[in-house]
Every structure is written in structure tokens, then in C-alpha cells.
Amino acid sequence: VGWSIAQVARMSGVTSRTLRHYDEIGLLPPARIGSNGYRWYEQEQLIRLQQILLLRELGLGLDLIERVLDGTEAPAEVLSRHRRWLLEERDRFDRLAGTVTRTMAQLEGGGQMATEELFDGFDADRQARYEAELVDRYGDHARDGIAESKRRTQGWARQDYQAVGQQMVAVEERLVRLLESEAAVDDPRVLDAVDEHYRLVDRFWTPERESYAGLGRMYVEHPEFRARYDARHPGLAEYLRDAMAAYAAARLS
């Protein structure tokens, strides 16, 4: 009467270890347990096991399977949710494969050491010229800004500029990853990254809500800025502009 654990294992194609595990987590207790501790299974358990294996095949987690079989969750709804999740995963892997392909193309293009080279593109002179642009566009307030900037960087050595430049590159790369993963500009992770950007700009001058958003717009409109960001990733300039606007609206007064 009934089947031993190894018999059930052979019949169903799982290992006895799996059956013990299912017993352990309460998903499939045996019909009875002998005085020697042996597990014995009946038809009822075999049917349940088949249902478990069916749902497991679909990729459902064991806890969810248990709730479905115990009637706690409606099968139709669970499967519907699960299907959406599967499709999202499929799309995610598809996007990842695309990103890998593009990365490979960049590597072939000789950009392997790009990260290190990038740090050369950020120095004090260029920064000063950029800020002069701001003066033209945003008038006196920005003019105050550039004066403040000069004051703050008085005692800076080459090392200090390099350090800030590096951090600027780092936050830009971080934003590229967020962009590629299609994070919204008001995503907390994006705002955190922009916050880092804001702190770096703050090393030179302290933007207000309006001037910070204006700086973002300039990244898109000014050719020299655009070139810098487009070289990093197409669309980065616009993404950064929008993210800075979202940041300004959400966290600056």
C-alpha cells in the first residue's frame, strides 16, 4: 500500500532529495510516516506532485505553487501575473543582449581604454569657458556664480581638478547605465545620481532651482557640451537635461 520515496522519485522524474525538501517546506507531506521514519506516499500525493511539477515547469516559485494548490490564490490570476513577469524578463534579456552588442561594437572601435582617457577632457580652463557661457545666457545671477567659482577654486591644484573631473565622469557613466536600463528621469536612483552631479557643480558655485535647470538646458543646446555628452552616449544630453529639471523641481527651492 503506497509508494516509497525512491519509487515516487522514479515515477515522477525528481530526486528523493527534492521530495524530502518538499516535505520539509510543507509543500508535499507524505501520506504517512512509518515508525522507522520512512515516508510513504499515496495516490493523493502523486496527484499533488504532478500539479506541483506542472506549475514548477511554468517557472512559478514553490511558495506561490503552494498557495495556488491550497486555494489561497486564484490560478488564473496568478498565471496572468506570472505571464506578465515572464514577458518582462524576456524583454529585459533582449535589451541586455542589445547593450552587449553595442558594447562589443564600441570595443572594436578601439574605445577600450575610454574610461581613462575621459578624465583628460575635464580641466579648469574649459570649465571657466563653460561658465562664461552661462553668464551670457542667464545674466547677473550667473555672473555672480562665475565670480564665486573663481573664488572657490583659488587654492586648487591640478590634483583637485582631476579628482572632480573623475567624479564627474563617474556620475555621467552612472547616468548612462540608468539611461540604458530605461529608468525614468524621476526615478530615485536617477535623482540620487543627479544629486551627486549637483554636489560636484556645487564645488564651483551653488546653483538655484532655475539656474540648475538652465545649466541642464545648456548641455543640450551648447555644441561643445553636446559633443562631450554625445560622445559618451547618444541621448545622454537630453536625458541629463530632463533629469536635472526633475531634480530641480523635486529637491531645489
Partner DNA sequence: CCGACTCTCACGCTGCGTCACAGTAA
Partner DNA sequence: GTTACTGTGACGCAGCGTGAGAGTCG
- Which residues lie near a copy of itself (CB under 8 A)? 10-13, 43, 46-47, 50-51, 53-54, 57-59, 75-76, 79-80, 82-83, 86-87, 89-90, 93-94, 96-97, 99-101, 103-104, 107-108, 112, 115-116, 162-163, 166-167, 169-171, 173-174, 177, 180-181, 189, 192-193, 196
CA distance 147 to 243: 27
Contacts of 192 (CB under 8 A, 6+ apart): none
Compute how many residues bind DNA; rule: CB under 7 A: 21
> Closer CB to DNA, residue 61 or residue 75?
61
Smallest distance from DNA to CB 8, Å: 8
> Closer CB to a copy of itself, residue 96 or residue 147?
96
> Closer CB to DNA, residue 37 or residue 223?
37
Query: Residue type for 117, please?
Result: E
Question: Is the backbone of residue 59 left (phi > 0), alpha (psi -120 to 50) or beta?
Answer: left
DSSP string, 172-238: HHHHHHHHHTT--TTSHHHHHHHHHHHHHHHTT----HHHHHHHHHHHHHSHHHHHHHHHH-TTHHH
Interface with DNA in residues 22-41 (CB under 7 A): 34, 36-39
249 binds, among a copy of itself, DNA, none (CB under 5 to 8 A by kind): none
